[in-house]
Chain A
């Protein structure tokens, strides 16, 4: 079951996805995510960005094709091995998916608690993280008491707190002002420089230019365009710190 080149995190081969008996929302999608790279996923609304990310964060199984993740066939992965894989991911959901009855602090702490980090070891990273996204004051507020942008920042803090191997972010800057958007992008870049592979889905074409060396995945009606082949062959190595 193990395989794939050591220079890949994720590999999609001719992946197709349909919901129920509808038409395919993703067709013949093939690409490789290389470790330490920074990807933007763009495309019109309804092009299938969220659907592709769902396959990446293992919330959905494809209807056809092959997906290899961390060197393992993700299609035949038994249910009880999914948690181990999901803990290597960080996900910013398009609809945030914060736990409504937990405070901002507890939402950000959740991945650490799930992973069994002792209580005494998680207070500092969580408060630091909340400070970084500018939510120190709102730490004890519940999602319903936060603005859309604040909720988004909680969602981002939760996704990056465990320093995942692969960060998947679905429109992570859709609800914040341009300055905050840049700041959050810097957070992703910093994480990327520590070795995390980053995939950011966005409509915002201005954002694409802000990250040098980023690769662009463009979806058009469920099909991925890759005119230069950059999504299949390893890019030139990027410096990795840490």
Chain B
């Protein structure tokens, strides 16, 4: 047998710890995408996150729109048994207010309008019989938000002409509603946080499991000079694909749910709720949920692998 030289690579191996582009072709970790439970668990969590985020954003919008509409509003109520006096006081109050700087408009709400507004609450009969004195109402629009001081000043001016008048900022009526909306927003935020934590935990467990079943391969790659970074990248990539698949499914499911809910709420026709319609920035944020999910999953995978490998020689 001729002593032919062995067919080794032309020069010695490049010894720098260069990136491992080559390992991308040869799958170090056998990958069966969308086979394990992880993509589906991620899909469920992304869907829930999308719904929670949409709810939180809608609640924020409701709060913002409502407070925009109400922040410059003041209502003057004049409770006075004599309808003539009542109307006179109301008109005087409106006149005084309209003369003030910083007031957009102060208008007396017509008695029919007030009755129409109250009717559903009290029933037609009582009003017809004039047994219940209906207050006169002056709707005041300010140019700026109503501060406590400003409200006090307005109250003093109004009481000069209508001693028994009640002067309230419209926003104070809705304080409990705003409180509830705030709680809803916090709840949505907390849910998003919890779901992110759960996602990281799922990835951590899945990666630990994969590290265990691929321990031999990892040891061999180590002994052949593979770095922790190279090995981490393989797992990270694999988890990234799973998370991307799960994220796409989760986003679709979540969007279907959000749109269906949106239709139902829109059907209610209530002004407050339609103020919660999602704007394009909101949709963008929702679309970013699966992207953030993939990022979080990959980061968790990388961290888990690097931490586990540090214990190997």
A86 to B28, CA, bound (A): 19
A113-B17 contact in complex given A57-B223, A97-B216, A186-B3, C-beta closer than 8 Å: no
A83 to B221, CA, bound (A): 10
| B3–A125 CB distance below 8 A | no
A99's partner among B6, B17, B217, B230 (CB-CB below 8 A) is B217
User: CB within 8 Å of B: which of A136-161?
Assistant: 158, 160-161
A190's partner among B6, B13, B219 (CB-CB below 8 A) is B6
A117-B226 contact in complex given A99-B217, A101-B30, A110-B26, C-beta closer than 8 Å: no
A162's partner among B3, B9, B26 (CB-CB below 8 A) is B9
| B216–A100 CB distance below 8 A | yes
Stretch at the interface among A1-9, A127-135, A169-177: A127-135
By beta carbon, the residue of chain B nearest A179 is B1
| A125–B224 CB distance below 8 A | no
| B8–A191 CB distance below 8 A | yes
| B15–A125 CB distance below 8 A | no
A-B pair number, CB within 8 angstroms: 145
One digit per residue, 1 when the CB lies within 8 angstroms of any chain A CB and 0 when it does not, for chain B 282-313 equals 00000000000000000000000000001001
User: CB within 8 Å of A: which of B226-249?
Assistant: 226-228, 230
Interface presence of B114 (CB below 8 A): no
User: CB within 8 Å of B: which of A27-64?
Assistant: 57-61
| A113–B25 CB distance below 8 A | yes
| B223–A86 CB distance below 8 A | yes
| A113–B225 CB distance below 8 A | no
Set of chain B residues within 8 Å of A205, measured between Cβ atoms: none
By beta carbon, the residue of chain A nearest B227 is A83
Interface presence of B150 (CB below 8 A): no
By beta carbon, the residue of chain A nearest B11 is A163
By beta carbon, the residue of chain B nearest A121 is B9
Interface presence of B22 (CB below 8 A): yes
Interface presence of B35 (CB below 8 A): no
| B22–A113 CB distance below 8 A | yes
By beta carbon, the residue of chain B nearest A105 is B26
User: CB within 8 Å of B: which of A79-117?
Assistant: 79-80, 82-89, 91, 93, 97-102, 106, 109-117
Closest beta carbon of chain A to B16's beta carbon, Å: 8
A111-B30 contact in complex given A99-B220, A161-B9, A191-B8, C-beta closer than 8 Å: no
By beta carbon, the residue of chain A nearest B221 is A114
Q: Can you list 15 A-B contacts with CB-CB less than 8 angstroms, sorted by A residue number?
A: A58-B313, A61-B313, A79-B313, A80-B228, A83-B17, A83-B226, A84-B225, A99-B217, A112-B22, A114-B226, A116-B20, A122-B9, A125-B8, A125-B9, A158-B224
> Which A residues fall within an 8 A CB radius of B?
57-61, 79-80, 82-89, 91, 93, 97-102, 106, 109-119, 121-122, 125, 128-129, 131-132, 158, 160-165, 183, 186-187, 189-191, 194, 242
The 9 closest A-B pairs by CB, nearest first: A113-B22, A128-B7, A116-B18, A87-B225, A86-B225, A163-B8, A162-B13, A101-B30, A83-B227
